[in-house]
Structure formats: structure tokens, C-alpha cells
Chain A
Amino acid sequence: MEKLKKKIRSFSFWNWVIASIIFRLILIYFPKNLNLCSRPEVSTPLTSFRRLAEGYWLKQSSMSPYAGSMYHGSPLLLSLLGPLTVKRIEGQPNHLLYSLVSVIADVVSAMLIRATGQNLQVAYFGTLKSLDLVKQIELSGLVPLAAFGWVIATHLSLYPAILIIPVHLSFVLAICDLLLGYGPDAPPRKLFLQRHQQKGLSSQSKLPPGFSWGSIIHFAFWALLWSVYVLVLCGISLKQFGGLWEMFKSTYGFILTVEDLSPNVGVLWYFFAEVFEFFRNFFLIVFHVNILFMILPLAIRLHHRPCYLAFVYVAICSMLKSYPSVGDSALYLALSLPSDMQFSLFLFCGYVGVSLLSPVMHNLWIWRGTGNANFYFATAMVYACLQIVLVVEGVSAMLNHDRKLRSLILDKPRDAKS
């Protein structure tokens, strides 16, 4: 029976995978009608495919790819994906190859996220079932990989820079993991202490120091190495076109100064279109410091759950970043959703409603001309509110969960005694 159920589960999982791939392929085959590559919800100035093609073309004709303020991505992407923008297959939609590559990349990342989730779940059940179970996950080999991932993500879109904290925390915890058996996402360490004390285990000596410099230095070394490597590569590819400074100015500078005010699902474009030029710098600082301000309190509160912390950071970033798209929310929604969240139906309906309403409002504003910018901005605001509710409720659900765990763990022995 158990086996059958498992089979059904994996079967339905692969079903969903196939269904989603087919869905993506259908989307690829109707590029003209859906106009997905010009929809503001999907393509931002940073991720737009057409801009990439433009950048590639500029570079091919030996001009700076950043000329004309069209392309704002990494020069490495140009060499990697650029050739795909010009290759065509006769009789097929344009950019078929590129779309297929992106579909493959998405499927792979989805698989990786799933694998991470399964790891987490195993670890989670492990910690819950018997707190003494030692699950050895050899993570030390992953440090260079993690450093590479972090460097590349930061290089490509800047915001993942703040994910360094959860990464570090997870390493710190991973070290503990070797000794005590925490999962990467575990209830607070104090709990274990209390549990151990109640069990009468004198495990004080076994407890590791909470902070190990070794892993951090290890990580920092690799991060430095990788970033130097990436920068050198960029420098080589941009040698004739103004060098690295040009790249920084038109990628990070473009992200931080919110130059492109074309509408998107975020709220910044409207705000900076309305704000007086005089205050612009002030508000730029305010909005970006907003993200930085949230890092520390959250890190302190959720330091025992680095993966969850990462989810919260990604959600906050995708709310406050300068050129958000629905892809960002897809990422954090895939990362983690607490199981006992309130408002789940409300949030679900909200997401569905906003994702349907936003193209309609855009159509009303741009094509029909009966609406105006406020119509579209209204949906962007609703979307932002939904994300706020999601983050707040998610964090509070997680904290409640921890509280409940604590009360269960602390109460159980007493019940057993009485």
C-alpha cells in the first residue's frame, strides 16, 4: 500500500513536470499572439531578451554593448547566450533555441529546488522524530560551489548579495550538524539544550561553539577567488569598451538609480516618475536602505533557520527591488511556504487575481486608452500588499511553529512523568 502510494506520488510528480514543460512549449509556440517578450510582468529591463539581442548585436559590430542604454546585464551573458539570439531554424518561431535553453534551465533549477526541499524535509523529520539522530551531511565540499553561486548571482542581479548571511548561517549550522544533528532548517538550538538537559544528558561539553571562523574564512576565500575570476573575465570581454567601470555603471548603477521608469509589477517606477528630481537621491537611498535595514533583525530572529531566512530575504528583495518581475515571486514561492500559514486561501486568490488583473489593466491603459497609469499601478500596489501579507504571515507562522515545538518538547517529558 505504502509503495503504491509512493509510486502514485512520484508518478503524479512527473506528470506535473511534463505538463508544465508542455505548457512552456505551448507558450513558446505562440509568441506573436501572447507577446510575452514585451509583457512588463515577465521581462524587465534587466532580463529582457530583446535587450540581450541588442547588446549582442552592438558587441558584434564592435561597439560597447552598453551603448544606448539598452543592455544592462553581464558581459558574460553576451558571450554565453548571445549566439543563441541570432540562430534560427527555418519554419520555426524565432528564438526557439533560446527559449528551449531557458526552459531547460528552469526545469533544472526546479529539480534542484525540489532536491533541496527533500533534503530539508528529511532533515526536518529527522530532527523531529528523534532529536538525537545524527545525520551526517558532508557539506564542507559544497563551500566552493556555494561561493560560486553567490558570486554569480550577485554579479547577475546584485540583490542576492544579502543572501550571504543565510549562506553563512547555514555553514555555521552545518558545522554544528556534523556534531549534533541539526538540519539546515531546525528549531532553535536552545531547544536542544533544554531537551538534553531534561533528558539528563550532560552534553554540555559536546556542544560546539556557535560561531566558527574557519568556515567563514573558507567561504570568504572562495568567494574572493570566484569574484576575482568573474571580474577578470568581464574585464577581458570589455577591454575595448570602457572596461569594468563602464560595466559597473550600467549594471549596478542602473539597478540602484532606477533609471528606467517603464511600468513593471513593482512600485518604484511610479514613485520615481512622480517624485521631484530634487528628492530623487534621497528616496533612492531610503528605498535601498529599506532592504538593508531588514537584514539584521531578521537574521537575529531566524538565525536557526537559514533556508527560511533566505526565503524571507528573497521575498523582501523581490518586493523592493527596482525592476521586479513575476519570476522573482515564482522563486520565493517555490522556495518555502510554511505549512500552517493563515490567509492561505486569501493569498492564493490574491495572487491569481493580480496575475489576471495586471495584463487587463495594462491593456486598458496602453491599448484601449480608457484607463491610465493609476489603473496599472493599483494592481502593482495590491501585489506589493499581498507580498507583505505573505512575508508577515509566513514569518509569524514559522515563529508560532517554533513556539509550538518548544511547548511540545518541553511539555512531553512532564506528561510522561505525571
Chain B
Amino acid sequence: MAETKEKSHSDEKPKPRVRPIVRLGIFLVSHSFLVSVVCFTSGVLALFLLPVLAKNTYISENALMPGSASPMLSNHHVSDGNRLVKDLTNSNLKSSETGIESHKIIAKYMLDVGAEVSFHKFHPQMNQFHPLHFFSSPDSGKIQENCSCSSYGINTVGIIRAPRGDGKEAIVLVTPYNALTSSFGEVLSLGIAYSVFSLLTQVTWLAKDIIWLVVDSQFGEYAAVSAWLREYQTPKFSSHSTLNAEMCPDINYLFEIKVHSMAGSKFSNSFRRAGTMTAALVLKVRDQSEQFDDTVSIYAEASNGQMPNLDLINVVNYLAVHRQGLRVNVEKLWSLLNSGWLKSLGEIFESLATIAKSLNPKFKFGIPATEYVEGIATLASSLYYQALGVPTGPHGAFRDYQVDAITLEISPKFSLDKVWCSDILLRGGRLIEGVIRSVNNLLEKFHQSFFLYLLTSPSKFVSVGVYMIAFALLIAPLPMVAASLYVDANSSKGDSSFLFAITDTDEHGITIRSWRWLNSAKSVFIVHLWGAIVSLLPYFICQIPDCSPTTSFMIWVLLSILSLLILNLVLASPLACVKASQEKEWALVKSVTISSVFIGLGLMSVINFATAEIGALLMVPMCLLARPLKLDVRVGTLRSCCRIICNLVLGHIAFPPAAFFLFKGMLDGFGSANVGDFWMWVESLWAWNSATYLFIGMVQLPCWVLCVSILFHSC
């Protein structure tokens, strides 16, 4: 698109024939205002149309064949599970050593059914800000720090070797379990997993190894899972673990006890592995529920908005709904469900659909208004969690190693007593069994279905091809406006021939028409450099001990302003004299700014679509509308007044902290807002290596600064 500007530029000379594509480009650039308004509104509209355009999910991979075999999980296995639940709840009564004790019990049960068992001891790794960690591979350069012996976790791992497989592939079943404060839900999830596990040791159809990982969730589920995965995927040849064991005699002692008590069995003290993982299921049971049905909630978002293959969700959805009669649930933004304007929007779409249907019965795209509102709420939460870039559960750790994983959270209808326990064990177990059996059928890893999609309900999705249209419409005005601004700024200068300028020996005097944007590019570059510095600053601020979030935030703000001033002094001083000479300088700056925003948004849409979409909603109008206030004040018409107001409002909203507080206020109310909250939020972003953090620091903030500087440009 951007090339059109110069094409039109070259067109000033009367040329006999202009290529049609060039003519189209010139037309678009010359009507850039109208085109950008149309594109932007249609982009927003397309975003709201997404629930209507959503397709029903389908099983794309034929090999999966979910539900084709009848479940083999019987009451016998359920009673096995019940036994484990009972034992664990009893062992809870014991005091301090329960952590070790309950892990022992689990290991014993695993050994009883003939699985290989090992323990994985890990030190929780504090999430730290690694400035260069965003794009490196997950296993590169993790710093191993020595932890004290008091803080360690134990994962219990049971492995069933597949009778029909070659041991090169595996399916992982994860149950988080905190031995110290175990709730009944966690114990029940262990029971479900154990009943499935005990079944799977007996079946003959198993072609992939089964790994049952009981993660110690006292330091967080994610940390435990990621520690195990790191150990699994990057074998260490150093003697690091043994060193640790020597340093911590008490742990060593406990391990020794285990080895003795389980002598002669398949227990091993070293780390055990199976094949590459095809899929992973994280199973949880919620204690109390407000649901009217037995529900399965699916959490799928991993870090940076990555999703597991859609087929995995499809299989779970299909089996849960059509085989086990469970209701499937995905996250919704509940606050949107009651909003009136969405309901009326849905009604409008519905009535439009009925009109269309009356015209031609083949048009069937309408959905009922209530369904539409639910779709929007689901879509919004899907966008929100993807944009945050923070995984919604321990399944996120798997995605870093390209393993498709989801978290299933079963919430029973009634409070959990013994009667309903068996029912949940049976149905949950059969669901897990069905999913494992499907995945077991896979010949290759998941690849058939989508990786890039948004869910609008458990059984409806919007694929990348559809939602990209909305985004493309949103950012389409950017290159066009940039082009038209560029052409304007260049042509207004008059047609003094550049040749005379060249003959001037003083090079600074040369203002060659086609390179005049270089100065604006320099200032834009300086601001982006500043953005990079600002995003690195927290790394140093974190080192300051005993800093409350509010003071850290203040230090951050002060340092940022200081660095901006210094950068301006050091780098931009020769720029200032050039700036004054160019009257339309702001137009060039705006043009380059818009180009850089276009690049940034385009890049972000590849890394994390949802962030780019939300960012585009904020930044595109701000970029397009920015214009020196002085000019508008001078004109004083209604249109310029509107523009001033819009500019001021957008200038306030699009400032990242302001946008954050506005969003937070809309969700939780403004009463509890605190300056330190933004710092905490940012901290969580970089702790999870979210690219959103980089986006805010290096695209949105510089863009905002540039737009504000355009607003206050003295021309």
C-alpha cells in the first residue's frame, strides 16, 4: 500500500498511461480520509460480527476417532480410585510429614498396578526478568541457582510402558496436588487419574506410554510442571542433583527410606523418561460449584496467546457432551453477559438474519441474540487471556515445548460427598479414558486442525482466516494515511529542482526531496530507542531491595522521563535546527510514526494476535487523528473542534497506565485502584515473558509519545 504514495507522486508528470493498480492506489490515497473511516468502522464491525461468523468445530484429524470404542472403565477401577481417595484423606490427619507421606502413598498405589515410579525433586525457580528471554528458545541458558534445602517440591511420576508401542511417544496426565493443604477436589482428581491409570495398565490397545505426573503444587502448579518439563526435555549430564542431595541430608534420608520400603519393585531414584509427548491433560476438580450441571471447564491459553491444536479441544468437547453428558464450559467475561447494548446488537443481527432468510432461504447465518451475547463474552475473554500472554494454567508449560495441552476442570453439581464421588469418578474417568484413547490413535502429532483460533463457545471457533480480516481492516488505513501525508508534505514544498541543491557543496543544505523523511525517521527512532530503554529499566529497579510497588512505579516513571530528556539532548540536538526549517515537519513525523506503528502492529499480530487487535483498537484512531492542536485551534470549525476533543480523549486513554486503570476500573470498579497495581501487572507480564510487555514498551508507549508530541507541535 505504501508504495502507492510515491507512485502517485511520480504521476505528477503527465504520463500517457498509468497502470490500473497504480491508478487504484492513487485513488485510495487521495481519498484516504473516507477510506480510513470506512475501513476502521468496518474493522470494528467485523470484530463484533465474529460470533456470527464462527464455524462449528469438527474433528479434523481422522485418526482420532473419538468415542468409537465403548469405555472400559468399570466400577472396579472406580473403587480403586475411591480407595486412594480414602487413604489420602486419612493420611491428611497426620501432621508435619504428610507431604512425604502422601507422596509415598501415591507411589505405592502406582507400584501396585505395575507402573514405573520415580520422584522428581525440584527447587521452585523464581520468575525473573530476563530482558533477552523473549525470543530465545525455552531451554537456553536457564540460570541454576542454589536454593536452601527447606524449599523443595516433590513430583511423583508414574509411567506405564505401552504394550504395543515402541516407547517413542507418550501421553501425559497431570494432577496438581498440594500435600500440605490438600483439598478434597485435589484428592478427587487424583482418584480419577488413578482409576484411569489402573485401567490403562491392563488394556492391550495402548500404543503410547502413559505418564501420570502428580505435581507438588505448593509452589504453584505451573512452576512444578515447568520444572519437571525442563528436566525431561533437557537432560543434564552434570551431577547437579546429586550435589543437592548431599547438601540436604534430611531429604536424602527420606528418599533412602522410600527405596528400602519399596525394594524389589519398579521404583527408581533417577529421573525416568518416556517418549516425546503428543498431548498432555491437566485434570482438576473444583471443590464447590455454583453450576446447575456437572461441568467441565476447558482452559487452553498458554503463554503469549498460544493455543493447543483445536482437535484436542474438539475431542474433549465431543466426548464430554455426547458421551458423558457433561456440560462444557470455556471462560467468559461475565460482566458482558448482562450488558444491554450487546443484547440489542445481537437482536439487530438476528433480525437482519431473519430478513435475509426471508429473501433467500439459503441464507442461514443468524444466531439468536442470547447466543450472540454469550459468544461475544467468550470471545472477549478469549481475546483477553490471549492478549495478556499469561498462561491460564499449568498446561502453559507444555506449550513451550510444542506439546498440546489443556486443563480440564471438573465441577460437580452437588457438593462432594461420598455418594456423588463415585459418579464423578466414573464419568470423569471415562472422559479422560476416551480422550487418551483418541490421542493414542494418533499416528503423527497434532497438525491437522488450527493452532490460531479464537473460541466463541466450546463448539464454535473463529479461525485465523476470519479474524485476520477484522484486524486487516483495522490497520488498513495506516499505510494509506501515511502515504497521503507523505505525498502532501513532499509536494507542498514546491518543485525546486534538487539538482541545484546538489551543486551546493554543503551537504547539510541538501534537502533532497525523497530523503527528507530521514530526519523524522531519526526522531521516531530515538523515541523507539527510548521505549526499549524504558522496557529494560524494571530489570534494574527490581534489584532495589524493599521497594513497594508504588515507589517502584514512581522510580520507573522518573527514570523514564529523565532518559527521554537525556536522549533528546544527546541525540536530537542537531535535529532541532533542521526541524525548524521544515514547515510540514509534523506531517512527515506523523507519516513515519504511522508506518512504524503499522510495522509494530503487523509484527505483533503474528506473535500474539489478541494483543495486536486490542492495541490496534486503541492506537489506530489515535495515530490517524493526531494533528497539531494549534492548527485546529486556528481553524476553529466544528470539525476541528471535534478533532481536538477526540485527540485529547484518545491522548489520555491510550497512555498505557491510563488504559490499564480504565480497563481495570471497568472490570472491578474504580474504588480499589492503586498506582502500584500497574507495577504489579507489569511485573506479572515480564515474569511470564509475555510479548505484550514488549509491545507496550516498544510500540504503544513510543507511539503515544510521538502522537502527543505531534499534538503539541509548534507549527
Contact = CB atoms under 8 A, between A and B. Distances in A.
Interface stretch (A53-61, A206-214, A229-237, A352-360): A352-360
Nearest to A359: B135
A128 B504 CA distance: 11
Contacts of B133: 33
B492 interface: no
A33 B143 CA distance: 12
Contact of A370 (B451, B497, B514): B451
Interface string A106-146: 00000000000000000001001100000000000000000
Contacts of B502: 128, 339
Interface stretch (A175-183, A244-252, A281-289, A361-369): A361-369
B431 to A, nearest CB: 26
Contacts of B514: 339-342, 344
Contacts of B306: 368, 370
A121 B497 CA distance: 20
Contacts of A330: none
A345 B606 contact: no
B574 A346 contact: no
Interface string B450-464: 011000000000000
A353 B2 contact: no
Interface in B1-26: 2-3, 5-7, 9-10
B606 A360 contact: yes
Interface stretch (A4-12, A40-48, A62-70, A163-171): A4-12
Contacts of A349: 2, 595-596, 598-599
B127 to A, nearest CB: 17
A9 B508 contact: yes
A33 B486 CA distance: 38
A3 to B, nearest CB: 12
Q: Identify the interface centre among A340, A345, A349, A359: most chain B CB within 10 Å of its CB.
A: A345
A71 B130 CA distance: 35
A345 B592 contact: yes
B232 interface: no
Contact of A344 (B137, B507, B517, B602): B517
A190 interface: no
Interface string B121-142: 0000000001011011110110
B584 interface: no
Nearest to B602: A353
B506 interface: yes
Contacts of A408: 499
B512 A339 contact: yes
B574 to A, nearest CB: 7
Interface string A11-55: 010000000000000000010111100000000000000000000
B143 to A, nearest CB: 11
Nearest to B451: A370
B603 A356 contact: yes
B6 to A, nearest CB: 4
Interface string A386-405: 00010000000000000011
Chain B contact surface mostly: helix
Which of under 10, 10 to 19, 20 to 34, or 35 or more describes the interface residues of A?
A: 35 or more
Contacts of B497: 404
Interface in B498-521: 498-499, 502-503, 505-508, 510, 512-515, 517, 521
Interface in B424-452: 451-452
A34 B130 CA distance: 12
A343 interface: yes
Contacts of B189: none
Nearest to A372: B447
Nearest to B504: A125
Nearest to B302: A368
Given A9-B507, A128-B503, A342-B6, A353 B603 contact: yes
B530 to A, nearest CB: 15
A221 interface: no
A375 B605 CA distance: 13
B30 interface: no
Contacts of A271: none
A129 B503 contact: yes
B503 A32 contact: no
B21 to A, nearest CB: 14
A2 interface: yes
A340 B498 contact: yes
A32 B140 contact: yes
A343 B599 contact: no
Given A33-B140, A360-B603, A404 B499 contact: yes
Contacts of B592: 345
B402 A369 contact: yes
B295 interface: no
B382 interface: no
B3 A360 contact: no
Contacts of B451: 369-370
Interface in B333-352: none
Nearest to B607: A360
B535 interface: no
A355 to B, nearest CB: 10
Interface in A270-325: none
A339 B498 CA distance: 10
Contact of B606 (A2, A32, A129, A361): A361
Nearest to A370: B451
Q: Choose among A340, A346, A367 the residue with the greatest number of B CB atoms under 10 Å from its CB.
A: A346
A30 B132 contact: yes
A364 B140 contact: no
B700 interface: no
Nearest to A347: B3
Contact of B132 (A5, A34, A357): A34
A162 B452 CA distance: 46
A80 to B, nearest CB: 31
A375 to B, nearest CB: 8
A349 B130 CA distance: 29
Nearest to B514: A344
Nearest to A345: B517
B591 interface: yes
Contact of B141 (A12, A33, A343, A344): A33
A184 B3 CA distance: 33
Contact of B10 (A339, A342, A356): A342
Contacts of A344: 6, 514-515, 517
A8 B591 CA distance: 28
Contacts of B503: 125, 128-129
A349 B524 CA distance: 12
Contacts of B499: 404-405, 408
A246 B434 CA distance: 59
Contact of A8 (B5, B7, B574): B574
Interface in A67-104: none
A401 to B, nearest CB: 9
A2 B506 contact: yes
A357 B603 contact: yes
A368 B141 contact: no
Contacts of A30: 132
Contacts of B507: 9
A370 B132 contact: no
Given A33-B132, A339-B512, A370-B452, A348 B521 contact: yes
B621 to A, nearest CB: 21
A352 B171 CA distance: 42
Q: Shortest 9 CB-CB distances between A and B: which pairs?
A: A33-B132, A370-B451, A369-B402, A346-B2, A342-B6, A32-B141, A353-B599, A349-B595, A344-B514
23 contacts: A8-B574, A32-B136, A33-B132, A34-B132, A34-B136, A35-B137, A339-B514, A340-B498, A340-B514, A342-B9, A344-B514, A344-B515, A345-B6, A345-B591, A346-B5, A348-B521, A349-B2, A349-B595, A349-B596, A352-B596, A361-B606, A367-B137, A367-B402
Given A339-B502, A368-B306, 14 more contacts: A12-B574, A33-B130, A35-B140, A339-B512, A339-B514, A342-B6, A342-B7, A343-B3, A344-B515, A345-B595, A349-B595, A369-B451, A404-B499, A405-B499
